[in-house]
Amino acid sequence: MKRRVYVVLLAFAITTGLIGQSLAQTQTCETCPMQVGADAQQHFAVYDGNGTRHWVECVGCALKLLKTYDTIRIETYCDWYGPAYPVVAEISQNGGVTTVDPSTAVILMGGGCTANRVAYNQTAADELLANGYSEYTMMMMQQALPANTNVTTIQKRALTFAATSEQVAPQSYLLPAVIAVVGIVVIAGAIVAYKKAKR
């Protein structure tokens, strides 16, 4: 009977630890309530002027950081052509100065995170408008785009977001860290209890 209790405790501890680890790897978007999973973390790397990474779910959320940070760097890639076609935007003075590589890159703003896309050029934008997504588009965004999707340059949209976004508080990493520590403590406690019961 004791052995069953310890096995159940060990299984619970392992499950709790795995959940804690999973939560620690998922970030919350700093400008909207969505979770930034591994695919979004790979698709968008955004840094402020100090080199601190910020977690965002889409290009619109990245641009909204301009209200809090006067300088950001967005590293992403084309939603149609994929990672072999990177798009990098250096934005400063809250959107007043923007350099985009390649200069042909445009963004598609469909009214929400799941309807925003990055295109390497107008041809890619046309394909995204027609098809909604490609195999390189994040899973949660693989849907048709609204008919009123706006295609614009990052430069123009940066000025819009800088002028209209509300103040965003920087994200706290305390909760995922606490969850991870609790998971580790529970696992360690279960292992110790199991070893004591085994004697």
Say yes or no: 15 and 36 in one domain. Answer: no
Q: What is the DSSP letter of 121?
A: S
Pair 17, 35 in one domain: no
Cβ–Cβ under 8 Å, residues 168 and 174: no
| CATH classification at residue 78 | 3.30.450.410
Q: In this predicted structure, which of 22-26, 89-93, 167-171, 181-185 has the lowest mean pLDDT?
A: 167-171
Expressed as residue numbers, the domain containing 120 is: 31-170
The mean predicted confidence, pLDDT, of the chain is 84
Helix, strand, coil % (nearest 5) of the chain? 45, 20, 30
pLDDT 10s digits, 79-94 = 999 999 999 999 998 8
Looking at the fold, whether 135 and 158 belong to one and the same domain comes out as yes
Structure tokens, 171: 């994200």
Number of domains in the chain: 2
pLDDT band at 21 (very low <50, low <70, confident <90, very high): very low
Question: Which among 26, 48, 22, 21 has a CA at the least distance from the CA of 36?
Answer: 26
- 68 and 161 together in one domain: yes
Q: What is the pLDDT of residue 3?
A: 65
Q: Please give the Cα distance from 91 to 74 (Å, whole number).
A: 8
pLDDT tens-place string over residues 50-85: 999 999 999 999 999 998 898 999 999 999 999 999
Least confident among 21-25, 81-85, 96-100, 173-177: 21-25
